[in-house]
Amino acid sequence: MFILDDLLVRPFISILDALHTLAMNELYDVEAIQDDLKENQLLYELGERSESEYEQRRRELEEELEIARAAHEQLQNKTIEIQG
């Protein structure tokens, strides 16, 4: 019975784990957030964004970046914590 479980369940679990990792990498894309930070800085320097808009967006992006880095660390350690 256990051999049958290993043959049927283990590949399914592996596929789910791979899909979960891909989804997390897409959702918490550190490089994309860093690019958004650079774009925000550039728009401010070009005068297309006011200082208050720049500061607000910068704070939002830095918070997202912190969350994304924590999520990637949890993925590497295989310890996902769901925060509400």
pLDDT of residue 84: 46
| 61 close to 37: Cβ distance less than 8 angstroms | yes
Question: Which single residue is written with the structure tokens 């830095």?
Answer: 62
| 44 close to 51: Cβ distance less than 8 angstroms | yes
Question: CB under 8 Å, gap of 24 or more: what pairs does 2-11 form?
Answer: none
pLDDT of residue 19: 83
pLDDT of residue 76: 81
pLDDT of residue 36: 97
pLDDT of residue 43: 97
Question: Percent helix, strand, coil in the chain (nearest 5)?
Answer: 80, 0, 20
Write the CA distances from 48 to 41, 45, 51, 81, integer angstroms.
Answer: 10, 8, 10, 39
pLDDT in tens, the chain (84 residues): 566 666 677 777 778 878 877 887 778 899 999 999 999 999 999 999 999 999 999 999 999 999 999 988 887 887 655 554
